[in-house]
Amino acid sequence: MIGKICVSLIYLLISQKADLVSDLQNRYDRIKDFKAEFIQSYYSANGTLLMESKGKLYYKKSGMFKWEYETPKAKEFVIKGNKLFVYLKDDGIVYVDEDFKSSQLKLVMLFLYGVGSIEREFNVDKVDEEEEFARILLTPREATTQIAQMIMHIRKNEKNVEKLEIIDNLNNRNVFRFKNITFDTGLKESFFNFRIPEGVEVSPIPKDLFK
């Protein structure tokens, strides 16, 4: 009897995890575009806050994404198709990744620009649920130096990811908090076009740029 109860509890927990992840995936699969404000906090392994950034982000279905950092330095991340452009305005540099989707950095940005399947790319290790929020612990199915774990904090009623934690193999933590999220706002594809400004330095993207 005890064995049957344990099996039933395990099955229930697995079902709950699958339902929550499936609901979240379905929610984002239906979205045409969204925009939000964000705060990004980067912590060392001992918990020291090393950097905090603020700005706005924009997403349009089919892999178009723009991050506009406002503080502490002005910079832009623009993703369209297979290309990633990072424009550091104060430094006069544009970093370019011509094959972003096949690079290791893809996994770091996967759910920040809305491409991919949670269950295909990650193992769902744990789900903690409270009254308003759920917390999903994910580990990548393929080894990567940028991600050891990813933790998604979801507002359950709306299925919105309001906080995302990315923990690397050295236990450093990149935390994104999202607010004022609006969906299906009618963003145009041309909004995500990026032209390299005249006179700036152009260079391949460094692997530690997302810290």
Q: Which CATH superfamily is domain 2-204 in?
A: Lipoprotein localisation LolA/LolB/LppX (2.50.20.10)
- Judged by DSSP in three states, 139 sits in strand
pLDDT of residue 3: 36
* 128 and 17 Cβ atoms separated by less than 8 Å: no
pTM attached to this predicted model: 0.79
- Rounded Cα distance, 194 and 175, in Å: 27
pLDDT in tens, 169-180: 899 999 999 999
Q: What's the mean pLDDT in 16-23?
A: 63
Q: Which tens digits make up the pLDDT trace of 149-162?
A: 889 888 877 778 88
pLDDT tens across 109-152, in order?
A: 555 544 456 667 788 877 777 778 888 888 888 777 678 888 98
Does the structure show a pLDDT above 60 at 11? no
Contact criterion met (CB below 8 Å) for 147 and 140: yes
> Could you give the percent of the chain with pLDDT greater than 70?
78
Query: Exposed, middle or buried by CB within 10 Å (0-12, 13-18, 19+), for 90?
Result: exposed
- What ranges do the domains of the chain cover? 2-204
| Count of beta carbons in the 10 Å neighbourhood of residue 45 | 11
pLDDT at 15: 39
Q: How does pLDDT run across 47-60, given as a tens digit for each residue?
A: 999 999 999 999 88
Dihedrals phi, psi of 205, to nearest 5 degrees: -75, 130
